[in-house]
Amino acid sequence: MKKILYLSFYFEPDLCAGSFRNTSLVKELAKQVDGEAEVVLLTTKPNRYSTFKTEAKSTELIGNLKIHRIELSAHKSGFLDQIKSFRKYFSEVKKITKTDKFDLVIASSSRLFTAYLGFIIAKRDASSLYLDIRDIFVDTLKDVLKNPIIRLGTLIVTRFVEKRTFSNANHINLISEGFNEYFKKYNSPKYSNFTNGIDNAFLKVDANPKINSDNYTITYAGNIGEGQGLHIIIPKAAKLLGDKYTFQIIGDGGAKQKLLAAIEREGVKNVKISNPVKRKELIEIYSKSHFLFMHLNDFDAFKKVLPSKVFELGSYPQPLVAGVSGYANSFIKENLSNYILFEPGDVESFVNQITNYKYYLSNRVDFKFKYKRENINKALASSMLSYL
């Protein structure tokens, strides 16, 4: 029987876009090769948020799917913490796979080094390599690393790793069409653009906000990091909007303290922050919210991305409030109705639009049908298995 290795740093029951994407995709992949191949998934135990704790088995066998979850040390999602965590994952994966030979290696990667790990194992086994790329790591580092010496040294290493990895892949799926131009320099692999999608849990969601409300709830749920830049937009907007609007922030991350400090500095009382919750509870919270909010920091790298949150929030009939630029901005305009769009960090535009907005709900039937995750996964898994 043939063997497929699947590498994903995040998997259920962890709470993040990488986990949601790969959990359903891996199960679809295993389903399509049942009786023909074994799928070995190497992932980690839940570690996305230090404030979200849940049990997960170290090993699990579900039919022809074998799951290994690697235990990582507790961390706060800082840059150094993430390096340490990945080093552990990297070394453990090499140990677990050293006595096996795989026919196909698949790596789903936002941080470049999961893809690089896939390249190392595929080269060792002379197997096909299929990469699912969710972010351009080199671009992100340019924006995140402020020290010019550290940035230069890190970029030299990551560009070398990127070239070796991407040049040797058989196929690269780019989760955003905004990445296509960047990848033209790597002309050896074949390419596809299977996006994120809408999970079944969000396809039949209900919305019951009080339309004629004295107080409108604006909800954000997810990572609170530099990439989201919530500390730049929310405290100032909350101050200008006043008591008629309440920001409900559910999540954790490396920039949470910056957000708390900015809230204190602005002296606002209409921003409530709570720890991450499980999906079932989050669906209920979204359903009662008036506005669903997302925001990306003003980084060049984010002009190419298409966040999974567009699909999650777009499945609801409430207005989507999005501070995004570039490809994500264009995608929302082309595929969604009932939205408030503004450039990252533009407090004035956000406040003006939301205070002048005439509230209504819209059922985005066509969008939900087109981007149903189940259908995307079937096509993506089939594309992956064409290299087996």
Residues 36 and 126 in one domain: yes
Distance, CA of 162 to CA of 52 (rounded, Å): 32
Distance, CA of 324 to CA of 317 (rounded, Å): 20
Residues 188 and 204 in one domain: no
Residues 223 and 299 in one domain: yes
Residues 23 and 152 in one domain: yes
How many domains would you assign to the chain? 2
Instruction: Report the SS3 class of residue 370.
Output: helix
Identity of the residue numbered 227: G
- CATH number, position 295: 3.40.50.2000
Distance, CA of 307 to CA of 318 (rounded, Å): 18
What is the per-residue pLDDT across 164-188, written as a single tens digit (0 to 9) for each? Answer: 999 999 999 999 999 999 999 999 9
Residues 189 and 231 in one domain: no
What is the per-residue pLDDT across 29-80, written as a single tens digit (0 to 9) for each? Answer: 999 999 999 999 999 988 765 555 567 789 999 999 999 999 987 655 566 7
Across the range 357-380, mean pLDDT stands at: 95
Residues 106 and 231 in one domain: no
What pLDDT sits at residue 190? Answer: 98
Full DSSP string of 27-89: HHHHHHTTTTEEEEEEEESS-S-TT------SEEEETTEEEEEE--------HHHHHHHHHHH
* pTM score of the predicted model: 0.93
Residues 212 and 117 in one domain: no
Residues 308 and 180 in one domain: no
Instruction: Report the SS3 class of residue 146.
Output: coil
Closest CA to 314 of 368, 361, 354: 368
Q: Which helix (H) or strand (E) holds 239?
A: helix 230-241
Residues 170 and 256 in one domain: no
Q: Which domain holds residue 121?
A: 2-197+372-385
Residues 68 and 127 in one domain: yes
- Band of pLDDT at residue 214, cut at 50, 70 and 90: confident
What is the per-residue pLDDT across 296-354, written as a single tens digit (0 to 9) for each? Answer: 999 999 999 999 999 999 999 999 999 999 999 999 999 999 999 999 999 999 999 99
